[in-house]
Every structure is written in structure tokens, then in C-alpha cells.
Structure 1
Amino acid sequence: MADSTATTEQTEPTAQPPKQGRLAKLYLGTGGFAIVDRRKTWYMITAVIMLICVGSIVFRGFTPGIEFVGGTQIQVPAQGAQGPIAADEVERVYADTFGQTPSSTQTIGSGGSKAVQIRTEALNAGELDQIKRALFDELKPLGADGEPTVNAISDSGVSGTWGDEITKQALIALAVFLVLVTIFLAVYFERWMAVAALVALTFDLTVTAGLYSLIGFEVTPATVIGLLTILGYSLYDTVVVFDKVRENTKGLLDLSRQTYPESANLALNQTLMRSINTSLTSLLPVLGLLLIGAGLLGAGTLKDLALVQAIGIVAGTMSSIFLATPALVDLKMREPAYQEQARRVESRRTLGKRTVSQTARASAGLSDTESDADDEEHEAELRKEKAVVAASAVPGRNLKKSDQRRLAGKPSGKEPGRPSGKPAGKPTGKRAR
């Protein structure tokens, strides 16, 4: 018997589970990041970025491609009689001929089809003949037969009306897209989610366009097409987060354990790893297009398409995490029902803290006057609240005014030590003899 008692006493305590680190919380989605609580910070950062982008668009403007303004495109083989021809050499010959640099210079193609392409303002027949002769005299480009010839240099004129038509069609597509998205979100989710998603889409469009204006990237039809594709990506990520928010907040108004901002923040944490993984897997092929297609193959269209998509994916991920859900929380918390639910949650937690505090003091054996007074005060408050709730739960029961004042902690209007119904200081109706 003694041995069994000793064995029981020597039993080791149960090991506590280890605390989760930041990376573990991120991977498991257990709510370790207070994103919604810091939404004012995200609003300030977003506002600064938007102001910079809008200011650049208004005062700096864009760098339109040749498709929008019109002009001439000249293509020179990258192999000459004296060796490879670099883009800098072609640009130097053009600047020496006309006294100004072309609008853009880039190397396109690979292998035997590799060439240097320059884009400039519209040139007439005499100017074209002049620049071709200068390029041939300086660089001696090789033709298809391997011999230097001026015919190896090709040219083409581009009209600005084609780019204008592309822009017009893109704007129509954007308007239709936004209308359909608003209807879909309002039907599938609710109106405030539709508004928050449109706010995120506006941020994505403004930031992408603002970066093109700030850095001076050339805007081409491929850029406009790529801008439309990133809207679908941004919307997809936002819908994933909102779907989880809707799942976490279902029936929330009937509960008093968690507020709407807390439920939305938990949904963000639960989908945060998915958003990051989706962004990375979407960004990798786009970077492949940007580095391989533009860097190695020299395809200008691929470069323009991949560049706008890379910027849009990063902006879309930021907006779906730091802007869409915080904006949704602020819009929802304007409704009186969710404000009342938040007050119930806070009241429940306050009562819970009082109960825990009382239990802790009782287990610690505190007997000082101040602790006892606090206990008595808390117990009196709990008794009053329970009495009021019990009285209101019984149909047809009306409390007297004196009982209501007593439950509310107010004096009943009677002075202690005097009989009820007999005011002090007045005669009883009989003369003293």
C-alpha cells in the first residue's frame, strides 16, 4: 500500500503543450495576427500610396506606346559584317542623324532572327531613306543570304487610331466587368461585401496605373490587356477571404462569445497562408514570362503583359488582406444590430472577469477588508442583474417602484428607524392632553 502511494506521489506532471510561434500560427491560421484591429494603420498607408499614385497620374502622366500616338518602327538585324550589333549602337546612329534619341530601343527575337527595334515619331519617305542609309554605312547589317545589304533594314508605320480603339474597348470591358462583379457579390454575399470588394479593386487599378506613371513604363495595348486580367485575380482572392468571413459570422448576432471584427480577423488568419501561396504560385509563371520571354527572347509584348500582371498580383494580394476585410468590418459595424452584439460580448466578458477574480481570491484565502468589500460589491451586482433578468422573464409580472429602486441600488425613500406610511414631524391626529 505504501509502495503504491509512493508511486502515485512520484508521478511526473503532464507536460504542457509548447507555445506556437509566429510561423506556426501563420501556417495553422490560429489567429496570431491582429490585422483587423490595426485597420487604421492600413488605411493610412493605403491613403498615402493612393495619393502618390493619383498625384503622379495627374501631374506626370503616362508614357504612351507607339500604338497610341502613332509613329514609325525600324528593325535592324542584330548581326553585321563587323560583328554583333547592339541596341546602343543603333540608338547612337539615330541620334547622330536626327539630333534626338528614338522613343524606345529594344532587342527582340533570338538566334538568327534576333534584331534591334527602334520606335520613333512618324518619318516621311526622305527621312526613312536617310536613316536607313546611315545605319547601313555604320553597321553593315547582314541580310538573309549573309551579305550586307540595306534591304535588311525594315520599317513600318503605326497609326495611333488602333491604340485608341483598343483603349476604348478596354474601358467598355472594364465597366461591364465592374457592374457584373457588383451584382454577383451583392447576390452571392451581401451589399457591404460588394462595396468592400470594389474598394479593393479601385486600389489595385490606381496603384498599378500609378506605378506605370511613376517609373515611366511604356503603356501599350498589352499593358491594357494585362490590367484587365489582374482584376480577376484580385477579385478571386477577395472572394476566398469573404467566403470564410461569412462562414465564421453565420448566426453571430445570436451569440455573445465573439464580435464581428474578431470573427473577420480569424477568417483572415485562416486564409492568410492560402493567399500567400496563391500569390507566389501566380507570380512565378509571370516572372518566367518577364525574365525569359523579355530577357532572353526579347519579346516586347510578353514583357509588357508580364510586367503589369506582376504589379497587379502584388497589389491585389495587399488589398485583399489589408484593405478589403478591414473596410468590410467598418461597414458592418455601422449597423445597430452588430453594435448591440458587441456590447453583449463585452458585458459577458466583464462578468466573466469578475467571477474569475472572485474565485482566485477565494482560492488564495484573502481575508483583507478591501477584498471582502470588493467581493460583496460584485456579488451584490450579480444578484441585482439576476433579479432583474428573472423578473423580466416572467410574463405579466410588474415590479413595484420600491422594488425597482432597491434592485437598482437606489434609496427607497423611507428613512431608517421610522414606521412606514407615517411621515416624520407631523401630528397623529390626536391632541396631547
Structure 2
Amino acid sequence: MKSRFAGLGRLYRGETTFDFIGRRMIGFAVSLVIVVAGAGSLLIQGLELGIDFRGGVAWEVPSNSSAGELTDEDARAVLDANNIESTSAKIQFLTGTELQIMRVQVGDQTEQVRLAVQKSYADLAKVPVEEVSVASVSSSWGRSITEKALRALVVFFIVVSLYISWRLEWKMALTAIIAMAHDVVISVGVYSLLGFEVTPATVIAFLTILGFSLYDTVVVFDRVLENSKKFAASRQSFANIANISTNEVLARSLNTTLASALPVVSLLVVGSFILGAKSLED
């Protein structure tokens, strides 16, 4: 037990001696496998874009009305009855304090079909037609948001490259950009492999990953530059300096990861599995 606490103490004091550089080929191999798998999935099956990006229509129906609680099968039956492909429909149950809402999303439909489905859901839930909301999203909106996000991302890369080149070295700036691109490619590849739906919230998550990736990269590079000057007279190899620097900031990187992961896990566990918020579970 004492040895474990001693190990944690060494970790948080930056006194660990992990050979990151010596074992870099293991990391390269694992990373390459994930990147290739993700890139292959992106090329073959692409991403599952949400309604905000591909356009479509969504109905929101009170699920716990006088007709009783509606089910997934009820929602799909209404779609089938109106000649809409139900297998590709996305159905969510949004739970509030007093009311549960069933949200049904499909591809774009004509105004006549939208109104017919709205009336069918109202009849099914035994509520007035006005209580069944219909929302239509054009694919041009999602395309516009995507283009703006990409432009902002390019500007972000340029500004970050210039700053790191000025503050550290141009080689570090290039490496930082590669590291951020690597992290985003892996994240997007996982979404493609697992078939997760890409929504505006997903784009925000990808940008958040960029932020954390850049933060960790700059922290390590700054320590490497500092130690390069510190050990200049001792003729230490650059590999040793990189190892020392990475071990010194390891605890800081772990703390950053935990600080961001704990709230997300808490929301998922407490909100979804304990309180039953279906939107979080989806």
C-alpha cells in the first residue's frame, strides 16, 4: 500500500521515469491502426449526419397523454402508414419533470405529408393537432454551419501555428498541428466506425478535443524548450530531455483529462441511468 502511495506521490511531483520515447513505436502502431480503420470507414460508409446537416423534418408528440405512453413501435407504425421509410427514422423520448415527449426525425417530406403525419400522431396521442409540433430543417443550414466551422478551423490553425512558431519553434508548431489533426481524425473515425449521429453538438465536441489537444501539446513543448536550456551544459540527448519533460507534466495532463471527463461521466450516469433522461442516453 505504501509503495502505491509513493508511486502516486512521485507521479504528482513529476518524478516518474516512463520511457515514452523508447516505447514510441508501440504508440505509433496503435495510433496507425486506429487512424487507418477510421479513415477506411470514412471513405466506405462516411458519417451518419443528423437532421441539422442533411435536412429533414421532426415531430414532437406528448408521449404520456390520455392515450397512455407511446412506444417506438407506435411511432414507426404511423410513418409506415404514411408511406415513410421507418427503419431509418430516429426516435427519441425526451423526459421532463411532468411530461415526456416523443421526438421523431426523418428525411425531408412535402408539406402535405408533414401535416398528415402531424394529424396521425395527434390522433394516436389523443391530443389536439396544435400540441404536436413540426420542425423542418433545410440541409443548406447545416451546410452553411459546416462551411463556417471549417473556415474558423483553418483560421485557428494558422493563428496557432504563428503563435507557437513565435513563442517556441516552427518545428513545434508543425508538430502541434499534426497532433491536433491526428486527434480529430481518430475521433471522427470512431464516430464513423460506430455509426454515431453527427449533430451540431458533435462539432462542438470535436472543437473541444482540439482545445485539449493543443493545451497538452503546448505544455509539453514549453517544458521541453525549458529543459533544453536547463540541460544544455550536461550534453543530454534530446530523447532524454523529451522523456524528462513528458514525465514532469504527466500529472498535469492526467488532471486535465480527469477534470473534463468526470462531469461528463457524472451527467451520463446520474442523468441517464439513474434519472432516466433518454436524450442523454441517446
TM-score w.r.t. the length of structure 2 is: 0.87
Which segment drifts farther, 122-131 or 190-199? 122-131
* Unaligned stretches of 5+ residues in structure 2: none
**Equivalent residues of 2:47, 2:192 under 8 A apart:** yes
Measured at CA, do residues 139 and 32 of structure 1 come closer, stay the same or move farther in structure 2, by a change above 3 Å?
same
Pick from 84, 91, 97 the counterpart of residue 105 of structure 1.
91
Alignment of structure 1 residues 206-217 onto 2, 5 Å: 206-217=185-196
Give the equivalent residue in structure 1 for 2:59.
74
Pick from 170, 174, 191 the counterpart of residue 153 of structure 2.
174
Measured at CA, do residues 99 and 72 of structure 1 come closer, stay the same or move farther in structure 2, by a change above 3 Å?
closer
**Equivalent residues of 1:22, 1:32 under 8 A apart:** no
**Equivalent residues of 1:201, 1:231 under 8 A apart:** yes
Give the equivalent residue in structure 2 for 1:15.
none
**Equivalent residues of 2:61, 2:122 under 8 A apart:** no
Give the equivalent residue in structure 2 for 1:117.
103
The aligned amino acid for 2:14 is G
1:219 and 2:198 aligned: yes
Pick from 21, 34, 38 the counterpart of residue 53 of structure 1.
38
Give the equivalent residue in structure 1 for 2:26.
41
Q: CA shift at 1:97, angstroms?
A: 4.0
Question: How far, CA to CA, are the matches of 1:298 and 1:99 in structure 2?
Answer: 28
Give the equivalent residue in structure 2 for 1:155.
134
**Equivalent residues of 1:68, 1:163 under 8 A apart:** yes
Measured at CA, do residues 289 and 163 of structure 1 come closer, stay the same or move farther in structure 2, by a change above 3 Å?
farther
Pick from 131, 151, 167 the counterpart of residue 188 of structure 1.
167
Q: CA shift at 1:48, angstroms?
A: 1.2
Question: How far, CA to CA, are the matches of 2:104 and 2:97 in structure 1?
Answer: 19
Q: How many residues align?
A: 278
Q: CA shift at 1:157, angstroms?
A: 1.6
> Radius of gyration: which is bigger?
1
Question: How far, CA to CA, are the matches of 2:72 and 2:150 in structure 1?
Answer: 35
Question: How far, CA to CA, are the matches of 1:292 and 1:98 in structure 2?
Answer: 39
Q: Deviations 1:370-390 (Å, cap 9, x if unpaired)?
A: xxxxxxxxxxxxxxxxxxxxx
Q: CA shift at 1:221, angstroms?
A: 2.1
More strand by share: 2
Q: CA shift at 1:20, angstroms?
A: 9.1
Q: CA shift at 1:78, angstroms?
A: 1.8
Question: How far, CA to CA, are the matches of 2:89 and 2:68 in structure 1?
Answer: 25
| Larger RCO, structures 1/2 (Cα 8 Å, 6+ apart) | 2
Measured at CA, do residues 299 and 228 of structure 1 come closer, stay the same or move farther in structure 2, by a change above 3 Å?
farther
The aligned amino acid for 1:276 is L
Question: How far, CA to CA, are the matches of 2:135 and 2:173 in structure 1?
Answer: 47
**Equivalent residues of 2:216, 2:253 under 8 A apart:** yes
Alignment of structure 1 residues 362-381 onto 2, 5 Å: none
Q: Deviations 1:348-376 (Å, cap 9, x if unpaired)?
A: xxxxxxxxxxxxxxxxxxxxxxxxxxxxx
Give the equivalent residue in structure 2 for 1:199.
178
Q: CA shift at 1:183, angstroms?
A: 0.7
Question: How far, CA to CA, are the matches of 1:261 and 1:21 in structure 2?
Answer: 26
Question: How far, CA to CA, are the matches of 1:180 and 1:293 in structure 2?
Answer: 38
- Percent identity over the alignment is 35
Partner secondary structure for residue 124 of structure 2: helix
Q: CA shift at 1:39, angstroms?
A: 1.0
Q: CA shift at 1:186, angstroms?
A: 0.9
Q: Deviations 1:95-147 (Å, cap 9, x if unpaired)?
A: 3543621531112250234311111122223322432343334332xxxxxxx
**Equivalent residues of 2:82, 2:113 under 8 A apart:** no
Give the equivalent residue in structure 1 for 2:252.
274
Q: CA shift at 1:290, angstroms?
A: 4.6
Question: How far, CA to CA, are the matches of 1:106 and 1:49 in structure 2?
Answer: 31
**Equivalent residues of 1:26, 1:32 under 8 A apart:** no
Question: How far, CA to CA, are the matches of 1:31 and 1:225 in structure 2?
Answer: 34
The aligned amino acid for 2:152 is A
Partner secondary structure for residue 250 of structure 1: helix
Question: How far, CA to CA, are the matches of 2:4 and 2:142 in structure 1?
Answer: 58
Q: Deviations 1:213-252 (Å, cap 9, x if unpaired)?
A: 1111111222223322321121111111222212221154
* Unaligned stretches of 5+ residues in structure 1: 1-17, 141-147, 305-433
Question: How far, CA to CA, are the matches of 1:270 and 1:167 in structure 2?
Answer: 39
